[in-house]
Amino acid sequence: MGKKDTRERILSSGKKWFLEKGFKGAPLRKIVSETGFTLGAFYGYFKTKEDLFYALTDEAAEGLNAILMECFEEMQRLDEKEKLTGMNDVYLKYVPEIVRYVDEHKDAFYLILKCSAGTKYESILEDFSRMDASYIASLVQSDFFSPAAVEALGKGYFSMIGEILLMDIPEEKKVTALKEVQSVFNAGVLQKFAGR
């Protein structure tokens, strides 16, 4: 058995246990013993259980981040007067690509969104929410919503997005659902900020 096969067996066992028990609950000894190797063999490929988790998730997370950064940069190029209302159209343009990408890396995103307590990803949706709220706040001077309301709205919004992305439904239905959630958000929060 080659090094690549050994590494793949460890990754496969790790993915199974992380999906079943989450990062914190997945026992490293069982991950390794299931492969027929020793902890010493494991440490020849990964320094820690975290390294194993990140080997299963980082590439997918970085790819999605690249798509989101492209979307954000396009939003930044909007005319100042159009940024708040135009950001919706830019985001909607990227929704099919986001859905397709997440579906292509479904296990990795399930690990990131549902099994990552104890890792750098455990608050990823809250992090997105804070960045989004900060960006919107930079575009408006508004006292329509208290900071607590903005935080709660953002958490709810990104939680819905995460749930939809992980649903076991066809891509086109996810796209539709994400667009529907965005239209509600746009009709409520963004329009309120825009003074409509």
Question: Which sequence spans correspond to the domains of the chain?
Answer: 3-43, 57-193
pLDDT tens digits, 101-112: 999 999 999 999
Report the pLDDT averaged over residues 65-91: 88
User: How far is the C-alpha of 113 from the C-alpha of 117, rounded, in Å?
Assistant: 9
- Would you state the pLDDT for residue 191? 59
Assigned token pair, 144: 């329509």
Ranges 6-10, 86-90, 96-100: which has the least confidence: 86-90
pLDDT for res 128:
84
AA identity, residue 185: F
Look up residue 145 and give its two tokens.
């919503």
**Mean pLDDT confidence for 51-70:** 97
Nearest CA-CA partner of 157 in 134, 135, 186: 186
Rounded CA gap, 164 and 125, in Å?
Answer: 13
pTM of the model: 0.87
Q: How far apart are the first and last CA of the chain?
A: 65
Give all strands (DSSP E) within 34-190, no chain letters: none
Give the integer Cα–Cα distance in Å for 88 and 111: 28
Residue 48: what pLDDT? 96
The CA distance from 129 to 1, in Å, is 45
Residue pLDDT, tens place only, 167-178: 999 999 999 999
Nearest to 137 by CA among 42, 24, 146: 146
Looking at the structure, give the CATH architecture of the domain made up of residues 3-43.
Answer: Orthogonal Bundle (1.10)
Q: What pLDDT is recorded for position 196?
A: 47
Query: What percent of the chain has pLDDT above 90?
Result: 62
Does residue 148 carry a pLDDT above 90? no
CA 45 to each of CA 8, 32, 52, 115: distance values in angstroms, whole numbers, following the listed order: 10, 11, 9, 22
